[in-house]
Amino acid sequence: MTRTVRDATFDVLRHHQLTTIFANPGSTEVAFLTDLPDDITFVLALHEGSVVGMATGWATALDRPALVNVHTTAGLGNAVGALATARVNRVPLVVLVGQQDRRHLALQPFLAGELEGLAGNYPVWVRTPARPQDVPGAVARAWHEARAGRGPALVIVPSDDWSAPAEDGPVPAPAVLHRADAVDPVVVDELAALVAGSASPAFVVGADADDADTWHALVRLAERLRCPVWQEPFAARAGFPQDHPQFAGHLPAGRGELRQALAGHDLVLAVGAPVFRQYPYEEGPLVLAGTSVALVTDDPEDAHHSPADLAVLANPAAVCALLAERVPDRPDAPPPAVSRASAPAEPGDGEPLRAEHVMAALAARIPAETVVVEETPSSRPDLHRLLPARRPLGFLSAAMGGLGFGLPAAIGVRMAAPDRPVVAVVGDGSSLYGIQALWSAAHYGVGVLFVVLANGRYAIMDRLAAQRGGKPPWPGFEEVSVGGLAESLGCPARRVSDHAGLVAALDEVVPTLGERSRPLVLEVAVEPS
């Protein structure tokens, strides 16, 4: 039997552990997807945003690229917002995009697409192979590009390429490509001198510090310096244990409050975080005069657009470990003065539930290894204040800010890490951007607890309109039942509207999170804060 391009591509996918395909199928991919080999797993989602969101959660949990397949123009177009989130979250994806038959593309047939620019600059690499025989090499290259660029790499494959005969010979991409994480000690000298000479340093951490080695190095360094550690405001992941006594909280989003939070520090060292992502725009500098800013990152893009006095482009864990060896211990320095949020009082009889009550109830019950996936813009400050990340990957969100990430990402995380409890905390408005993902959770037996904060409106938008002194033109959507939608998609759901019902539901469900194989939507009626 003639060996085909499809056969050769499957060998490449096996070599790079890309044996789970997240997809919503289209006709231009039928030749690739029909009669998959037994060792290739197909995972269906009902919308391309959910496809990419699930793959993003999967790749985040496993720390390696995930494989996505999307249909030509419509499928890639539907996926663009989620691909943008994957890029800003620094998550590697290999994305196969279907295209019409190569033999009549010149005639612009039905379902042909202008695909190479459709996702804009969000892919880290895009390629349409010049010949069918170049497809396996392009897929191998995409795997390396996705890892190196930490984002989605796209390969556009005309439908007839899959059945073309493959070529014997080497694939034009390395079978193994190692990236050295070692840091030349000389590179750290200038940074160490700057830190050691600081009278009052502060740290700001971000998503690229979210791994066990970086947490360990940062804890040791912060404890030697007796300095506060802040989380940057829009990070997709936690860069430091948020139950540590030196964790100072999340930086405010506005420049004025940022300057106030960092006032009194002559050095701000950002680790795994850009300098600084603020919103909305406000006049004035990021930090006060007399405060130096240094940056440690392994992301060239962050290094190039951050206004830092000194930047080190290297592995954050390795740099911080060296710094902890080189900076002097400060045993006589007073510990940083950080405030701790206290749990809100339980609502009395007849008082409405608010998001803070839900966060406090979760914080009192979920185990430390829980992954909390957040997509509730109006309640995110309550979550940050009351529900700390205590383990690496304890918090996950969309750094891009676009909605539709939370539900599918939580499913992907749980599929990739079935030993970790996963709780998604999403707003009802946010849930509607990715509600189709609940079908996948139910169909594949993914035991995520989805806590949907239901206020029947876009509360964050209402708040922003009020801040401008105006009245919003958009209505509420109180008649939408997220629980009803979940059940229509085969996902169990229940609704609670008081504190007693909330506590009873959590006491029943939370102890089962580690081993449960059935998802649950807990729709919690809340009033905006």
The conformational region for residue 108 under phi > 0 = left, psi -120 to 50 = alpha, else beta, is left
The DSSP symbol for 24 reads: -
Mean pLDDT, rounded, for 481-505: 97
In a domain, 73, yes or no: yes
In a domain, 133, yes or no: yes
Query: The domain that contains 118 carries what CATH number?
Result: 3.40.50.970
* Whether 84 and 218 share a structural domain: no
Picking from 96, 25, 36, 86, the residue whose alpha carbon sits closest to that of residue 59 is: 86
In a domain, 319, yes or no: yes
Q: pLDDT-derived band of residue 48, with 50, 70 and 90 as boundaries?
A: very high
* Whether 519 and 387 share a structural domain: yes
Cα–Cα distance for residue pair 266/227, rounded to 1 Å: 12
In a domain, 172, yes or no: no
* Whether 470 and 503 share a structural domain: yes
More confidently predicted of 300 and 447: 447
Whether pLDDT at 284 is above 80: yes
* Whether 195 and 158 share a structural domain: no
Cα distances (Å, whole numbers) of residue 184 to 193, 269, 298, 304: 15, 19, 14, 21
pLDDT in tens, 451-463: 999 998 888 888 8
Whether pLDDT at 257 is above 80: yes
Considering the entire predicted model, what is its pTM? 0.94
Cα–Cα distance for residue pair 391/396, rounded to 1 Å: 12
Cα distances (Å, whole numbers) of residue 78 to 46, 47, 122, 285, 350: 11, 8, 14, 38, 44
Number of domains comprising the chain: 3
**Can you say whether the dihedral through the CA atoms of 396, 397, 400, 406 is positive or negative?**
positive
Beta-carbon count within 10 A of 456 CB: 17
pLDDT in tens, 324-363: 999 999 888 888 878 787 889 898 888 889 999 999 999 9
Whether pLDDT at 421 is above 90: yes
Per-residue model confidence (pLDDT) at position 467:
82
* Whether 404 and 463 share a structural domain: yes
Cα–Cα distance for residue pair 55/68, rounded to 1 Å: 7
List, in sequence order, every beta strand (DSSP E) within 197-291. Answer: 201-205, 229-231, 247-250, 267-271
Per-residue model confidence (pLDDT) at position 180:
66
In a domain, 322, yes or no: yes
Whether pLDDT at 182 is above 80: no
**Can you say whether the dihedral through the CA atoms of 384, 390, 392, 395 is positive or negative?**
negative
pLDDT in tens, 208-231: 999 999 999 999 999 999 999 999
Whether pLDDT at 170 is above 80: no
In a domain, 363, yes or no: yes
Cα–Cα distance for residue pair 16/316, rounded to 1 Å: 26
Q: pLDDT-derived band of residue 178, with 50, 70 and 90 as boundaries?
A: low
Q: In this structure, which amino acid lies at residue 15?
A: H
Distance of CA 473 to the CA centre of its chain: 31
The contacts of residue 475 (CB under 8 Å, 6+ apart) are none
Per-residue model confidence (pLDDT) at position 15:
95
In a domain, 343, yes or no: no
3-state secondary structure of 8: helix
Which two structure tokens, joined as six digits, stand for 472?
């919003």
The residue range of the domain holding 50 is 5-163
